[in-house]
Structure 1
């Protein structure tokens, strides 16, 4: 069966994902506490503007505005009965933007249906069962497929049980699946999984994801170390790196990220050297950051795997709390894990 993601990856060698939806919608007037998903029907032109900005920046993959699109998340806004409608609308807005871009430029890009966590705990820690979790994700996936998504993109998951339910629900519609987890607690997810744990989990899911990876988390250094752990555990996996734009800081009553476009370009080189084949940004990432990633990787030939010494020198110390980096290093990654090389290695 044809796989739009793997076909495009085979054609281009690596793919550029987009950046942050929320960050850019807030800049367009979305207020904290309001549902971004409602904007798919109330302000679709603003959602489309975000997609257009990332397409112009060089994204090959654009995620729909549906991160909180399960009934459990929409219930916070009284929209739990609108799952199919809002997810289908999210996919249609993105589909239209991508199709228009292809008509103008000839470039094929993919619509990825974003599926974030439910916000609920699964048994035995909470009330959500595998069956109800799977049904919730299936309802979202059906809406995204109806609206024209090419692939389904499960992201920011912390628990094995939720990942299993999300993949099982997404699998019902038959689209290729990408699955990423968030490692934000001393090289583990909030629920205690390491990158190696995730790599071992992926082949046991209802369908094997076309790509696995990490998104969000703390900052680019932590994300880079996570990618080392994933590719060490499964060198054959197609791996996604979608890191935050620097470190979040609270400034004048708002969360801001300290990453510059130049820093995100360095991050892009490092995660490609670590084995990632799909690279983008997460929280705080605007079109200028994605453009820097795309430009950094244009014609770039990955080099030797980065050591933690190099990551620290160029992005900052991952998980730095006064201890040695090796205190938190994934299995198989040592603190002096390779000779530092020049930053740029380009073909031609």
Structure 2
């Protein structure tokens, strides 16, 4: 008979399994079916996935029952089979786990972060129905996973505790901001669920290893119980109609040791992970001996207070001709500064003013990048324009607005005199901070470019004439990474054919790639702004390389950044960026600087480096 899971975790780190849903998707099972129904219709498939994880080293298996509740199954006409699907899921996992492995019954959030009209009474009914089925098959524990709100998790936990005294794992889905969707700090969230009876508390989904490690560190050493972690394989990228994840097995193996050092006692994987990821974790933890854990209650109000910075002084300035004309005449610098995720814009405006003083030609503002909610770039762009005189260049994502909203949005920009835009597809909403929201995608990036240029002809999206013409200068994004640069350039050519006036690239960290892009695009007349983003630390470098779609660091850059943090890391990041700028300036007039973590002083140093190297003397008007 196996020892109780709680006893084992006192002196051992266990390896969890990896993704079920995304792995089935990779195997060819389409989105839009119930993967849980496969417990009945294709049990051999589910058994095979479980066995692959066991062979890779998984010691804890989750039953394929994440969405096997009345509400989710009713969408497929399967609501009458809740008990049957859950019981089959446990039996299949048990067959694969064998006598030594642990099987935990997986129960997912029903609300899923959405503001639904499902009442608490309905939630109680649905959770109890699913839990009773799982418990009837003798699971070794229950895993309540991917919960966005404390309230719903506590409700599910209370029902579980009423029905059983077996181990219960509670896992939150959070970002690196380390707050639940209903506003609790992780310290408060952990304290609450521990008081309600959780035996193991942790994180899964929503973010990759770096984000979950940050969430653990936000606990400030206060661990009320063993920690479990099941990160995604980085941020999902949508390529050629498929979701792809960038964080590889080797990276997961490296991060597994860091998780264990931070107090994790069960380490597995969520979306995008595969048996190869689990094998890497198992191999990395093969000889790992954890330090004796010291668990203590988290004190109330443990989270640090937020200190607001004073608002900047108002300033005015002037503007130059459009960026396309400038880039054909001289080196031209665009700098990105992320809109805040808060209502306080003081630091953002201070940064904008500093970048203006350094000589930036334009400030570019993303449109809720990575599907994370930020302040409107329309409002901030207008404030930047009025208060600093710096030209705003705003991103327009296809994700958030339908045709009606997009045209309305563009008409608003025209009214405000904001005429430089960058058309982008936008990251899927399901991977952002409001996963219950919808991705619209009425338009592709090609179509939105054409439609915006149509406004320049005085024609609305519907084809009706407008009383005047807009004057938008439209940019397009270019990702030079990947195996086939020629195919990426061919796609770029189609964007130019659609009407793109200039191009902005993803950040590049390899001088040879800069030269290769220059050679591959030599035939194009459209200005290209080469992307450079200074690295802030060694951890930042590894996160970007392993988890963020479209960014790849050279081995040399990763080696130079390895282990560097704080001021030392930022200094090396600026030095590497200057070296890249020296190469970029030989081949491109357009420079696109991306500011990490609102560290605008790093970008200011790089702007000044560009002007010093080019010999350009700034007029007092632009300081």
Q: In which range does the TM-score fall when normalised by the shorter chain?
A: 0.7 to 0.9
Cα offset, 1:23, TM superposition: 1.6
Helix, strand or coil: the match of 1:179?
Answer: strand
For residue 240 of structure 1, what is the aligned residue in structure 2? 228
For residue 597 of structure 2, what is the aligned residue in structure 1? 323
Cα offset, 1:147, TM superposition: 2.5
Decide whether aligned partners of structure 1 residues 84 and 218 sit closer, same or farther in structure 2, where only a CA change above 3 A counts. Answer: same
Alpha-carbon separation, structure 2, partners of 1:162 and 1:142: 18
For residue 7 of structure 2, what is the aligned residue in structure 1? 7
Contact 1:131 / 1:165 at 8 angstroms: preserved in 2? no
Compute the TM-score of the two structures, normalised by the length of structure 2.
0.46
Helix, strand or coil: the match of 1:277?
Answer: strand
Cα offset, 1:309, TM superposition: 5.0
Please tell me whether Structure 1 or Structure 2 has the larger radius of gyration of its CA atoms.
2
Contact 1:266 / 1:314 at 8 angstroms: preserved in 2? no
Contact 2:113 / 2:148 at 8 angstroms: preserved in 1? no
Alpha-carbon separation, structure 2, partners of 1:185 and 1:17: 22
Helix, strand or coil: the match of 1:152?
Answer: strand
For residue 345 of structure 1, what is the aligned residue in structure 2? none
Alpha-carbon separation, structure 1, partners of 2:160 and 2:28: 31
Decide whether aligned partners of structure 1 residues 321 and 96 sit closer, same or farther in structure 2, where only a CA change above 3 A counts. Answer: farther
Decide whether aligned partners of structure 1 residues 129 and 234 sit closer, same or farther in structure 2, where only a CA change above 3 A counts. Answer: farther
Helix, strand or coil: the match of 1:135?
Answer: helix
Cα offset, 1:313, TM superposition: 4.5
Deviates more, 1:60-69 or 1:184-193: 184-193
Which of 176, 185, 194 in structure 1 is aligned with 2:167?
176
Alpha-carbon separation, structure 2, partners of 1:189 and 1:215: 12
Q: Could you list the per-position Cα deviations for residues 164-206 of structure 1 after superposition, in whole angstroms to 9, with x for gaps in the alignment?
A: 111122223313210000003733233333321211211332x
Q: Where does structure 2 lack aligned partners over 5 or more consecutive residues?
A: 292-535, 549-593, 600-623
Helix, strand or coil: the match of 1:190?
Answer: coil
Alpha-carbon separation, structure 1, partners of 2:12 and 2:234: 26
Cα offset, 1:135, TM superposition: 2.2
Which of 203, 213, 222 in structure 1 is aligned with 2:211?
222
Q: Could you list the per-position Cα deviations for residues 93-141 of structure 1 after superposition, in whole angstroms to 9, with x for gaps in the alignment?
A: 1112112xx4xxxxx110011100113679xx64333333122111111
The alignment's C-alpha RMSD in Å is: 2.6
For residue 50 of structure 1, what is the aligned residue in structure 2? 49
Q: How does 1:141-152 map to 2 (within 5 A)?
A: 141-152=131-142
Contact 1:216 / 1:283 at 8 angstroms: preserved in 2? yes
For residue 110 of structure 1, what is the aligned residue in structure 2? 102
More contact order relative to length (CA 8 Å, sep ≥ 6): 1
Decide whether aligned partners of structure 1 residues 293 and 185 sit closer, same or farther in structure 2, where only a CA change above 3 A counts. Answer: closer
Q: Where does structure 1 lack aligned partners over 5 or more consecutive residues?
A: 103-107, 326-348
Helix, strand or coil: the match of 1:87?
Answer: helix
Cα offset, 1:301, TM superposition: 4.4
Contact 1:138 / 1:172 at 8 angstroms: preserved in 2? no
Alpha-carbon separation, structure 1, partners of 2:193 and 2:213: 20
Alpha-carbon separation, structure 2, partners of 1:233 and 1:157: 22
Alpha-carbon separation, structure 2, partners of 1:252 and 1:180: 32
Q: Could you list the per-position Cα deviations for residues 22-56 of structure 1 after superposition, in whole angstroms to 9, with x for gaps in the alignment?
A: 12222333211100110000000000001001101
Q: How does 1:287-302 map to 2 (within 5 A)?
A: 287-301=275-289
Q: Could you list the per-position Cα deviations for residues 190-243 of structure 1 after superposition, in whole angstroms to 9, with x for gaps in the alignment?
A: 3333321211211332xx11100000122211011112224x363242001110
Contact 2:39 / 2:89 at 8 angstroms: preserved in 1? yes
Contact 1:227 / 1:241 at 8 angstroms: preserved in 2? no
Cα offset, 1:60, TM superposition: 1.0
For residue 343 of structure 1, what is the aligned residue in structure 2? none
Q: How does 1:32-181 map to 2 (within 5 A)?
A: 32-99=31-98, 102=99, 108-119=100-111, 126-174=116-164, 175-181=166-172
For residue 373 of structure 2, what is the aligned residue in structure 1? none
Contact 1:94 / 1:111 at 8 angstroms: preserved in 2? yes
Decide whether aligned partners of structure 1 residues 66 and 293 sit closer, same or farther in structure 2, where only a CA change above 3 A counts. Answer: same
Cα offset, 1:251, TM superposition: 1.0
Contact 1:91 / 1:144 at 8 angstroms: preserved in 2? yes
